[in-house]
């Protein structure tokens, strides 16, 4: 078998069995307890003959590190996370969230797209690389981490802080940007708490538009209009119609609070707003808009955030994934901006070139989360092939 050959029956069955077992593990974050899926991946890696160790910052949230040292050469890091976002309204699911259901070529289950399918594919790719040690030289490390879905401190952030040797020479993160495209960039994050205050009194006792809820409602309506703002791509590779969503500011309003009944005397109302900034737009630019929006009785504060980030089109991981994907699928993936955040940004912040590539089919995961079975299997070959391309760029 060549490293980019399609999986045979045995490898396919093993990949599907591993993914099914991972989906059965409830690892919703919060609380983000990933002990069960980590144990499954650890057993699979050890069963393939790979050394595995744990680096844990918090109880129940192990980070797995499996390294193949195979002589002198570059160091590639593969990364996936084992926690999932909440399923939302269970009544909206067509298939049981914690059961892997194959239907029409799709594999449904919570966390399949984000991102247990990529984790399973990377485990299988590491097994391929282990079996083919005679055909490459260098180092490949797989990091399977916790605490990604809430951008918490116990996953990749902890791993990179305590083990700087895991930075590597390049990173491939399994967070797919959708449609088997190549995530060359990703949006920045800006979590904002918007607070409105007003006269303490029921609506019939306050002047029009001066109550805290009214002021908050006007501000949120204005922010909703910012969803049409776009940035100029900082890289020519990102300037194409398929990346239109990647160059748009998105503003999503989360929790809204104010009062405790139908007719309360509300003096304060609050909303949490999630901004995702396209490459070419800064948090300072959004902050200026918020400053202009906030007048009497309205203020804002940033809770968490980082700038949009990207890697050069010709960086080693990007070239390696394009070459491997072209060999496996007959065409190289298009470079795009990934809409949600990923751990790739943590490596980029350290100066390490990083890309996102994986089987998540849409721009983001949601109800009836799924991956295409073919994409899952192709990713096994692409991850393994990309590793060899990066370690041997002239090969």
H, E, C per residue of 38-87: HHHHHHHHHHCCCCEEEEECCCCCEEEEEEEEECCCCEEEEEEECCECCC
The verdict on whether omega for the bond into residue 31 sits within 30 degrees of 0, i.e. cis, is yes
Whether residue 355 contacts residue 171, with contact meaning beta carbons closer than 8 Å, is answered with yes
Greatest Cα pair distance in the chain? 80
Q: Which of 42, 147, 148, 369 is catalytic?
A: 148
Q: Which of 11, 42, 83, 175 is catalytic?
A: 83
Total residue count of the chain as it appears in this document: 395
CB < 8 Å & 24+ apart, contacts of 389-392: 389/319, 389/320, 389/323, 389/324, 390/74, 390/76, 390/169, 390/170, 390/316, 390/317, 390/319, 390/320, 391/73, 391/74, 391/76, 391/136, 391/137, 391/138, 391/140, 392/73, 392/136, 392/137, 392/138
Put residue 288 in one of left, alpha, beta given phi > 0 → left and psi -120 to 50 → alpha.
alpha
148 catalytic? Reply is yes
Q: What is the DSSP letter of 354?
A: E
83 catalytic? Reply is yes
Residues noted as catalytic:
83, 148
């Amino acid at each position: 078998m060549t490293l980019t050959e399609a999986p045979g029956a045995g490898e396919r069955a093993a990949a599907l069995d591993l993914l099914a077992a991972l989906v059965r593990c409830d690892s919703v974050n919060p609380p983000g307890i990933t002990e069960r899926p980590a144990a499954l991946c650890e057993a699979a890696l050890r069963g393939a003959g790979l050394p595995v160790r744990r680096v844990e910052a918090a109880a129940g949230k192990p980070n797995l590190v499996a390294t193949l040292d195979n002589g002198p050469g570059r160091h590639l890091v593969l990364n996936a996370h084992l926690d999932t976002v909440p399923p939302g309204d269970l009544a909206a699911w067509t298939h049981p969230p914690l059961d892997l259901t194959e239907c029409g070529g799709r594999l449904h289950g919570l966390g399949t797209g984000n991102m247990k399918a990529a984790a399973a594919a990377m485990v299988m790719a590491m097994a391929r690389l282990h079996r083919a040690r005679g055909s490459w030289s260098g180092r490949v490390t797989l990091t399977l981490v916790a605490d990604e879905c809430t951008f918490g401190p116990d996953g990749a952030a902890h791993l990179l802080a305590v083990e700087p040797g895991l930075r590597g020479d390049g990173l491939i993160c399994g967070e797919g940007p959708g449609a088997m495209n190549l995530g060359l960039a990703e949006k920045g994050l800006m979590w904002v708490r918007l607070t409105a205050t007003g006269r303490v009194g029921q609506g019939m006792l306050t002047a029009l538009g001066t109550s805290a809820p009214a002021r908050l409602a006007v501000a949120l309506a204005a922010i909703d209009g910012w969803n049409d703002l776009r940035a100029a791509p900082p890289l020519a590779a990102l300037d194409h119609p398929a990346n239109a969503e990647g160059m748009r500011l998105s503003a999503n309003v989360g929790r809204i609070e104010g009062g405790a009944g139908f007719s309360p005397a509300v003096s304060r109302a609050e909303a949490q707003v999630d901004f995702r900034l396209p490459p070419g737009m800064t948090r300072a630019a959004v902050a200026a808009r918020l400053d202009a929006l906030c007048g009497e009785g309205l203020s804002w504060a940033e809770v968490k955030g980082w700038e949009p980030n990207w890697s050069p089109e010709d960086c080693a991981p990007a070239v390696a994934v394009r070459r491997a994907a072209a060999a496996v699928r007959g065409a190289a993936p298009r470079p795009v901006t990934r809409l949600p955040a990923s751990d790739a940004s943590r490596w980029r912040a350290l100066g390490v070139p990083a890309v996102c590539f994986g089987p998540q089919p849409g721009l983001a995961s949601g109800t009836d989360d799924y991956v295409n079975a073919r994409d899952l299997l192709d990713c096994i070959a692409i991850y393994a092939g990309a590793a060899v391309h990066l370690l041997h760029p002239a090969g």
